[in-house]
Amino acid sequence: MLITFLTWIGIFVILLVVLLFSYFAYRYRQHMGNLPKPPYRHLEHKPIPGEWSDHQVTFTWIGHSTILLNVFGTKIITDPVLVEKLGIRIAGMHFGPSRFTPPALTAEEVGEIDLVLLSHAHMDHVDLPTLRKLAKRSTHVITAKNTSRLIAGMPFGSYEELQPHQQTTTADGVKITAIPVRHWGNRFPWNHDYGYNGYVIEKNGVRILYPGDTAYLSMENIKQEFGPIDLVFMPIGAYKPDSYQRAHCTPEQAWQMFKQTGGKWLVPIHWNTFVLSQEPVEEPMKRLLAAAGAERDRIVMDKQGMTFSLPLA
């Protein structure tokens, strides 16, 4: 009798898994049918971080929202994603987008990192395979509320969570302030307690804004609280259909927020790497340049792998 009962439970669980698998496969195919399908691209630029000076601020856009910075000798990486495919695997099948532009650096080329900044737990911002490769005892991680559990088993030296308006200073003098953004934090539907942040990075009088993902919100308070920002990274993709704009800004809104910060230099991110939405993959930059008009020379990076150093004051 017990064996029969357990058999029926097993059959029920298998049927439930099959139904869930079929549902997600259907929804994934339906979603992918409405998205652009760009060909795979090859990079025009190759950064060499080993040649960067420790006496200034130098950075490269590795791809999507992953930026590698050397801030006066402190190596920082934001939302590191260096894999070819995002998402999850079920029954040997992969569900999630693949890159159409490769990462500008491998984990080995990135090397040892002093500080990892994680803005929120979405899979295109917190990639566990990448983080496992970057985990070193010398590396500190700053992440959003209730998300450190994702990396707790990795061999990082230390980690801490910040909520908006909280700040911390690292051992080598980098001050990090978490700022509020308009987004959401769930990694899966049940992670309702996961937080989401942007960050202001400060060292030796230089201020850098990394908002992670955000829909439009006024950034006037950033300039009021921190003073003019030297370098602003701003997401410009994933805004179509219009319903996506509840969590992602348009290129025009990104330019407006950049101007509100009083920023000197703008680097557009969160585009030209994964297909996550319906706009043509080249459209975000075209719209950003149109919005910038005569000030487009303040946009200092438009391709992965380019290297830029802030001019010395």
In this prediction, residue 89 carries a pLDDT of 75
Confidence (pLDDT) at 26: 43
pLDDT greater at residue 276 or residue 93: 276
Please state, rounded to an integer, the average pLDDT across all residues of the chain: 92
The CA-atom distances, in angstroms, between 110 and each of 66, 143, 208, 263 are 11, 20, 20, 27
Q: Residue 25 has what pLDDT? A: 47
Provide the residue type at 266 as one letter.
Answer: L
Q: What is the pLDDT of residue 93?
A: 74
pLDDT digits (tens, 9 = 90+) for 226-263: 998 999 999 999 999 999 999 999 999 999 999 999 99
pLDDT of amino acid 255: 98
Q: What is the pLDDT of residues 52-70, one digit of tens each?
A: 999 999 999 999 999 999 9
Domains in the chain with CATH codes? 34-309 (3.60.15.10)
73, 78, 123, 150, 245 from 111: Cα distances, Å: 14, 14, 22, 22, 36
Model confidence at 123: pLDDT above 90: yes
Q: Is the pLDDT of residue 160 over 90?
A: yes
